Amino acid sequence: MLGAGPAGLTAALYAARGKLKTLVVTGPMVGGQIALTNHVDNYPGFPDGVSGPELSDRFKAHAERFGAEFLDAEATKIDLASRPIRVWVGEKLLEAKALIVATGMTHKRLGVPGEDRLLGRGVFVCATCDAILYEDKKVVVVGGGDSAVRLRNLKTGEVSVEDADGVLLAIGWDPNTSILRGQLDLDELGYIKSDGIDSGKPGVFLAGDLIDRKYRQVATSCGSGCAAALEAITWLEGRPAE
């Protein structure tokens, strides 16, 4: 498993509970993007909401309960054509019969002071998730070519400073697919061309925001993580014994 966000952790839970020896290479962000926010209001089962870090911890603990193991490191290279599939973490080589890649997305940043510190605390990147929290409040939407919070009127050139309760960063996303370059078909923006759970490579499955250009929610990521693990289990069961 590559990735320890909602998709990777759900896949790990299903794979481990399905009696597969399961290793999660966590990458730089254990818990994934959701660990960056202090309030998740739309994940089922938490009617009063839950903090992102707590939800992530619960996902991880649930996978650990069934025996999933974790390696806090970043995969640096993979070979999807080899058998077993090979994954490098720096100099260390890992081998797997099946692989689920759930390396997610990274939101683009403006690069202004306070941006990271206030993410999930006034700065938000997901309108579906957080817009409701700013009902009746003043929100600045940064997008469509703007590159500062401070605003410049495109007609007059006048620069003004706007006070706001929230800032929605709508400046785009980068898929975390650099290690897939040369392994799977990517478009010019780095998105995987075939957006499905089945990567087209035997035993390699994809899950979560990585393959989702539309919804990008915790619930949808968990759903595809679950599906990817079930596909991996079925695929492994159908393989001839080695």
Greatest extent of the chain over all pairs of C-alpha atoms, in Å? 71
Q: Does 7 interact with ligand FAD (rule: CB under 6 A)?
A: yes
Residue 178 exposure: Cα atoms within 13 Å on the Cβ side: 7
Q: Give the x-and-dash track for 179-218 against ligand FAD (CB under 6 A).
A: x----------------------------xxx-----xxx
Alpha helix (H) ranges present in 39-180?
52-65, 127-130
What does the alpha-carbon distance between residue 207 and residue 185 come to, in Å, rounded to a whole number? 16
- Would you give the end-to-end CA distance of the chain in angstroms? 21
Closest approach, Cβ 74 to ligand FAD, in A, equals: 4
Q: Which of 23, 36, 112, 226 binds ligand FAD (CB under 6 A)?
A: 36
Any idea which residue has 């035997």 for tokens? 202
Catalytic-role residue among 41, 57, 72, 126: 126
Closest approach, Cβ 143 to ligand FAD, in A, equals: 15
- Is 129 catalytic? The answer is yes
Q: Does 6 interact with ligand FAD (rule: CB under 6 A)?
A: yes
Q: Does 50 interact with ligand FAD (rule: CB under 6 A)?
A: no
- In this complex, which beta carbon is closest to ligand FAD, that of residue 1 or of residue 20? 1
- In this complex, which beta carbon is closest to ligand FAD, that of residue 6 or of residue 203? 6
- Is 222 catalytic? The answer is no
- Is 79 catalytic? The answer is no
Residue 131: strand, helix, or coil: helix
Catalytic-role residue among 41, 79, 116, 129: 129
Q: Which of 13, 15, 50, 129 binds ligand FAD (CB under 6 A)?
A: 129
Q: Does 29 interact with ligand FAD (rule: CB under 6 A)?
A: yes
Rounded to the nearest angstrom, the gap between the alpha carbon of residue 228 and the centroid of all alpha carbons in its chain is 14
Catalytic-role residue among 72, 130, 136, 187: 130
Q: Does 51 interact with ligand FAD (rule: CB under 6 A)?
A: no
Q: Which of 12, 75, 96, 197 binds ligand FAD (CB under 6 A)?
A: 75
What does the alpha-carbon distance between residue 224 and residue 6 come to, in Å, rounded to a whole number? 10
Sequence-ordered list of residues with C-beta below 8 angstroms from that of 104, at least 6 positions apart, any chain: 3, 5, 7, 32, 33, 175, 176, 208, 209, 210, 221
Q: Which of 63, 80, 105, 180 binds ligand FAD (CB under 6 A)?
A: 105
Q: 22 is written with which tokens?
A: 């399961």
Q: Which of 15, 34, 55, 169 binds ligand FAD (CB under 6 A)?
A: 34
- In this complex, which beta carbon is closest to ligand FAD, that of residue 25 or of residue 161? 25
Sequence-ordered list of residues with C-beta below 8 angstroms from that of 8, at least 6 positions apart, any chain: 1, 2, 24, 26, 32, 100, 102, 207, 208, 225
Cβ–Cβ < 8 Å for 11, 207: yes
Any idea which residue has 């069961």 for tokens? 237
Residues annotated catalytic, as ranges: 126, 129-130
Residues lying near ligand FAD in the complex (CB under 6 A) are found at: 2-8, 25-29, 32-34, 36-37, 40, 42, 74-75, 102-105, 107, 119-120, 125-126, 129, 176, 179, 208-210, 216-219, 221
